[in-house]
Amino acid sequence: MTAMQRVMQSNVSTSAATTTCYGGLSSCKGEEVMISDQFPAGLRVLVVDDDITCLRILEQMLRRCLYIVTTCSQAKLALDLLRERKGCFDVILSDVYMPDMDGYKLLEHVGLEMDLPVIMMSADGRTSAVMKGIRHGACDYLIKPIREEELKNIWQHVVRKKWNENKDLEHSGSLDDADRHKRGNDDAEYASSVNDATDASLKALRKRSNAKEEDDGEIENDDPSASKKPRVVWSVELHQQFVSAVNQLGIDKAVPKRILELMNVPGLTRENVASHLQKFRLYLKRISGVAQQGGISNPLCGPVEPNVKIGSLGRFNIQALAASGQIPPQTLAALHAELLGQPTSNLVTAMDHPALLQASLQGPKCIQVDHGATFVQPIVKCESSSSKHFPQSFAPVEDVTSGFRAWPSNNIVTAGPSNNGGLSSQNGNMLFDLLQQQLQKPQQQSTVPELRRSINVQPSCHVAPSQSSAGFQAGNSPVSVTQNSSFSRTAVIDYSFLLSQSNCSSLSIGQVSDVNLQTTGILSGYIPPASVSPSVSSCSVNADNCASQQVQTPNMINKASRNMPGFVHSTSNGQDPYGSTKSGDLLDQAPFNNVGYINKGTCLPARFPVHEFQLPLSSSSLGKVFSENIGTRVKQEPNMEFEDNARVGIPMLQQFPPNDLMSIFTE
């Protein structure tokens, strides 16, 4: 009897132990990061890249950041390594294009099996590629060449992920039974050191990631691994159906079963609806009680998706984007702000209320209203400070409107920075159209290293939690750094705002049309005007500013500052130089390459992303050049090569339509 009792007791105690163990472990994960005294040093990074050069460079950079680096040049090897040494890595850096396995495949595997943050890298910085990375659930997307500063901040992804997971677990109390089961499973997953290969863990993880959802209809994981369930993406239409069903039932009475019946969507399960409902409820709670959310406790409030999904997104499948995994919240915030700002979008909730708008901007995205104010002011400041450069009055919005080629719906209201909401909507619209344009044109991010830190001034993004008004101190806000790498165009504003900052290291350029903001580092722009000249002349402003700062070689600077005005002139003919005069692009390269060297240290080089546009090699011009230079070059004396090189330079340029810029070169 006593023996049995003892056995029973021990059973109870062990089960109790295990349950606490489960709970404990899951919370442990979050605490782990916080209590480690080496943090963020000692972060264990796995780098996967088939390019040995980059691998070696990254390794060295990461070592300098005091991270523990493991490198791998093959994706398959990396996966094996990850599977073997579970829990041995905190974050993964992976190249996109690899010969043995697509980087996105690796990303999916890692996401499914190990749920580690994965940061993609590529030389291809075109928006479409970046978008693809986001859609596949990458935590971040870095564009080569990668700078050490960018790597210094990768720890934020680890922390963020852990916090998000903890938040999700906290919210498990509000789930209905099915979801609780899921959570229970998840906890079990945390606790047990089950090998990924087992079906149980895979299914559990998939159930959880089901809640995150993916593209509707498309089954993007075409990996041949074990049991695969098609993921559900809450597209605009689907969400609208959902919301109307909920409204019909009444938010209190809305239960997943009934919602499912009302929606009558084939293939949708009750679990899908249940998890979506949970998120919806959280969102509603958040936007209703959001005014008090001052300091942001964690940069990413848990389920960000509902915020975006609430609006019906006409042009962009934001929901799909939002739903498909861990979209950086800043992006979502930006998109969300865009949505909220759109006057013509048929938003379900009371989006027209500026208060609500601000509140919703505030809450989940942890954006303060005064951020909106902050954004507005710089623009005004910019206008006054650079009025001499910009003949036109400050009517950015209209200019933008006219400048954009693809402007699906002209939501931009004429009112300038009259209210925060309006402004943010305008910016948001610009963001969207920029994105769309980017998607249309293949583009390449040029490598202006410092510009990675260009600030994304979208009102709804990049707010370092603890800072309210000075949200955009580039150096201090880790969030902004990496975000910009993925959404280069969105650095719409904040020119003079940043100028007014003591460290001018974070000048962002607001440029429109096809100019890649990342590359146009110093050319800080205000709201991107349509014509390039204002923003171009803004670069002369900055060139002057930065020329006064530390200077590397005098001749380089002179050349650059000479080039600037030249460039301004050349572009003030109204036509969009990047879009139409393709032949001029090569021409533009040179000055900006030189300009790039002006600024050391704090100032960002001003470079135009000339090379990101298609340079059709017209047979006449380049052919001539090639025929001149082919063959003989290589083994010549250095001096000779210098001359040849000079000859190469000039003839190439001379092929192109004469220009004010040309005169600079022929001087």
Partner 1 sequence: MLGLAADRLRADMNRLLAFLFHQGILDEQFLQLQQLQDESSPNFVSEVVNIYFHESEKLLRSLRSLLMDREFSDYNKMGIHLNQFMGSSSSIGANRIRNVCVAFRAASEQNNRAGCLRALELLEHEYCFLKNKLHELFQIEQQRVLAAGVRYPMQNI
Positions that interact with partner 1 (CB under 8 A): 50-54, 56-57, 60-61, 63-64, 95, 97, 99, 122-124, 144-148, 442, 444, 447, 449-450, 552-553, 555-556, 559, 586, 589-590, 593-594, 596-597, 605, 610-617, 619, 622-623, 625-626, 629-630, 633-634, 638, 641-642, 645, 649
Matching residue, tokens 């047990």: 192
Instruction: Give the start-end residues of each E strand in 222-319.
Output: none
CB nearer to partner 1: pick between 86 and 582: 582
Question: 94 pairs with which residues across the strands?
Answer: 48, 120
Matching residue, tokens 């003949």: 391
Q: What are phi and psi of 421, to 5 degrees?
A: -60, -45
- Short-list 191, 193, 235, 229, CA closest to 208: 229
For residues 551 and 600, give the distance between their C-alpha atoms in angstroms, rounded to a whole number: 7
CB nearer to partner 1: pick between 99 and 267: 99
- Short-list 133, 212, 107, CA closest to 165: 212
Q: What are phi and psi of 69, to 5 degrees?
A: -110, 135
Which residues, at least 6 apart from 600, have a Cβ–Cβ distance to it below 8 Å?
A: 550, 551, 552
Residue 621 C-beta: closest distance to partner 1, Å: 10
For residues 441 and 464, give the distance between their C-alpha atoms in angstroms, rounded to a whole number: 32
Residue 48 C-beta: closest distance to partner 1, Å: 13
Residue 614 C-beta: closest distance to partner 1, Å: 4
CB nearer to partner 1: pick between 15 and 645: 645
Position 359, amino acid? A
Cα atoms found within 13 Å of the Cα of residue 207, Cβ hemisphere only: 20
Helix, strand, coil percentages, rounded to 5, for the chain: 55, 5, 40
CB nearer to partner 1: pick between 87 and 616: 616
Residue 658 C-beta: closest distance to partner 1, Å: 21
Q: Which two tokens stand for residue 270?
A: 């009750």
CB nearer to partner 1: pick between 3 and 634: 634
Question: 68 pairs with which residues across the strands?
Answer: 44
Q: Which two tokens stand for residue 664?
A: 């600079």
Residue 215 C-beta: closest distance to partner 1, Å: 23
CB nearer to partner 1: pick between 252 and 667: 667
For residues 282 and 47, give the distance between their C-alpha atoms in angstroms, rounded to a whole number: 36
CB nearer to partner 1: pick between 69 and 530: 69
CB nearer to partner 1: pick between 151 and 376: 151
Residue 560 C-beta: closest distance to partner 1, Å: 11
Query: With b meaning 16 or more CB within 10 Å and e meaning fewer, what string describes 402-419?
Result: ebbeebeeebbbeebbeb
Residue 158 C-beta: closest distance to partner 1, Å: 23
Residue 63 C-beta: closest distance to partner 1, Å: 8
